[in-house]
Amino acid sequence: MKRIVILISGRGSNMEAIQRRCAQERWPAQVVAVIANQPQAAGLEFARAHGIATAVVDHQRFSTRESFDAALAEAIEAHSPDLVVLAGFMRILGDTFVRRYEGRMLNIHPSLLPAFPGLHTHRRALQAGCKASGATVHFVTPQLDHGPIVMQSVVPVLPDDSEESLAARVLATEHRIYPQAVQWFVRGELRIEAGVVRHIAGASQLLLT
């Protein structure tokens, strides 16, 4: 069984989607812990209710990024994970931390990377007049919202979209592609060749809606 640790900062709907599919589809994996940097993160409740270990590493208690990263790594290591999943985890992680989990840490970002790394992706997509947007699951590298792309979803941007309506359309696809990407990882079905992620049996890494 592969051991998955999920890091969240808030609602945790992607964490929920991964946990539900992992349990329902009997993946060779288990979500062994959910760790938040916000004591009030709503997703912690779901984790507790499902018997998953939880921990809080409150970034406000640390004066440097290095000391926060070290405490976070300690909390993670207590669960000996095979995979670390960033699911709406809103802290930038330092290079040392990222390298420690190289090739075994995934993130989801609500844009078609490499477009719009960082915050306010939906607002920026609307302001740019994009006709399509989406979400990206990628391996985490030291550069923010970069790294080998595992899967992307594409949704239309509609003429009367608001930031909220676009975010909701993208989020619905996040709940499909993130569990898929994690399932491939725990089954050992992903290969990275020259920075490009491929599914070993050629499964489609694109969700068009």
Which residues does the annotation mark as catalytic? 109
Residue 150 binds ligand GRF (CB under 6 A): no
Q: Which residues pair with 54 in a beta bridge?
A: 34
Residue 87 binds ligand GRF (CB under 6 A): yes
Q: Is 40 exposed, middle or buried (0-12, 13-18, 19+ CB in 10 A)?
A: exposed
18-77 binders of ligand GRF (CB under 6 A): none
Residue nearest to ligand GRF according to CB distances in the complex: 88
**105 vs 148: CA distance, rounded Å:** 11
CB of 114 to ligand GRF, least distance (A): 15
99-118 binders of ligand GRF (CB under 6 A): 108-110
Residue 13 binds ligand GRF (CB under 6 A): yes
CA atoms within 13 A on the CB side of 191: 8
Residue by residue, DSSP assigns 165-203 as HHHHHHHHHHHHHHHHHHHHHHTT-EEEETTEEEETT--
Residue count of the chain, please give it.
209
Residue 122 binds ligand GRF (CB under 6 A): no
Contact 110, 174 (CB under 8 A): yes
CB of 98 to ligand GRF, least distance (A): 16
Binding part of the chain for ligand GRF, among 10-18, 26-34, 59-67, 71-79 by CB under 6 A, reads 10-18
Binding part of the chain for ligand GRF, among 7-15, 126-134, 181-189, 193-201 by CB under 6 A, reads 7-15
Peptide bond into 114 cis (omega under 30): yes
Residue 10 binds ligand GRF (CB under 6 A): yes
Q: Which of 4, 6, 7, 14 binds ligand GRF (CB under 6 A)?
A: 14
Location of structure tokens 């390298």 = 99
Residue 88 binds ligand GRF (CB under 6 A): yes
Q: How many residues bind ligand GRF (CB under 6 A)?
A: 14
Contact 135, 106 (CB under 8 A): no
The residues that touch ligand GRF, with contacts defined as CB under 6 A, are: 8, 10-14, 87-88, 108-110, 135, 171, 174
